Amino acid sequence: MKKLTILFFMLTAFTFMAEAQLNIDHFIRVGRTRISIGNYTGAIEYFNIVIEFKPYLAEAYLYRGIAKHSLEDYRGAIEDYNKAIEIKPYYPMAYNNRGMAYHNLHRYDKAIEDYNRALEFDPDDEAIYNNRGIAKLALRDIKGAIADYDRSLEINPKSTHALMARSNAKIVSGDVMGAIKDLNQVIIIRPHYAAAYLNRGLARFELNDYASALRDYDQSIKFDATNALAFNNRGIVKHKLEDYTSAIMDYDMAIQLNPEMASAYFNRAMAKEILGRPGYETDYQIAARLNPQYDFSNRKINAEQLAQQQQQKGNQQQGNTQKNNQKDDQKQQQSATDQTAQASNQNNQAVDYAAAQKQKDAREEEERDAERRRRHSRMDLIVEETREIPEESKQVQEEEDIQLQDKNIVIDLQPLFIISAFEKNAVDYNRFQYYNVAIDDLNVKNNYNPILSITNKPVDAYKAIFENFILYFNEKIAVQDNAHNHLSRGIFYSLTGKYSAAIEDLDKAIQEDEKLAVSYFCRANSRYQMHEQMELVTNGQENVSIALNKTGNKASGDDVSLDYRQILDDYEITLFLNPKFFFGYYNRAYIKLRLGEYKSAVEDLNQAIRLEPKFAEAYFNRGLTKIYLDDVEGGAIDLSRAGELGIEGAYNIIKRYCN
Q: How confident is the model at residue 299 (pLDDT cuts 50, 70, 90)?
A: low
Q: Which amino acid is at 517?
A: A
Residues in the chain, how many? 659
Domain locations along the chain: 192-317+333-391, 418-612
Q: How many CA atoms lie within 13 A of 380 on its CB side?
A: 10
pLDDT tens readout for residues 74-130: 999 999 999 999 999 999 999 999 999 999 999 999 999 999 999 999 999 999 999
Residue 316 pLDDT: 53
Strands 418-422 and 451-455, sheet pairing? antiparallel
Q: What is the pTM of this model?
A: 0.74
- Domain 192-317+333-391 class, CATH top level: mainly alpha
At 447, which amino acid appears?
N
558-580 pLDDT, tens digit per residue, is 444 457 889 999 999 999 999 99
Greatest alpha-carbon span in the chain: 133
What element of type H or E holds 418? strand 418-422
What is the pLDDT, as a whole number, of residue 294? 86
Whether 418-612 and 192-317+333-391 are alike in CATH topology: the answer is yes
Question: What band does 182 get if pLDDT is binned at 50, 70 and 90?
Answer: very high
pLDDT in tens, 42-71: 999 999 999 999 999 999 999 999 999 999
| Whether the Cβ atoms of residue 271 and residue 251 lie closer than 8 Å to each other | yes
Domain spanning 418-612: CATH 1.25.40.10: yes
Per-residue pLDDT of 414-448, as tens digits, reads 999 999 887 554 544 444 568 888 888 888 888 87
Handedness of CA 157, 158, 159, 164 (dihedral sign): positive
Q: Which amino acid appears at position 198 of this protein? A: L
For 326-345, letters b (16+ CB in 10 Å) and e give eeeeeebeeebeebbeebee
Helix H or strand E segment including 242: none
Is 462 strand, coil or helix?
Answer: helix
**Average pLDDT of the chain?**
80
Q: Which of 23-32, 122-131, 255-264, 527-536 has the lowest mean pLDDT?
A: 527-536
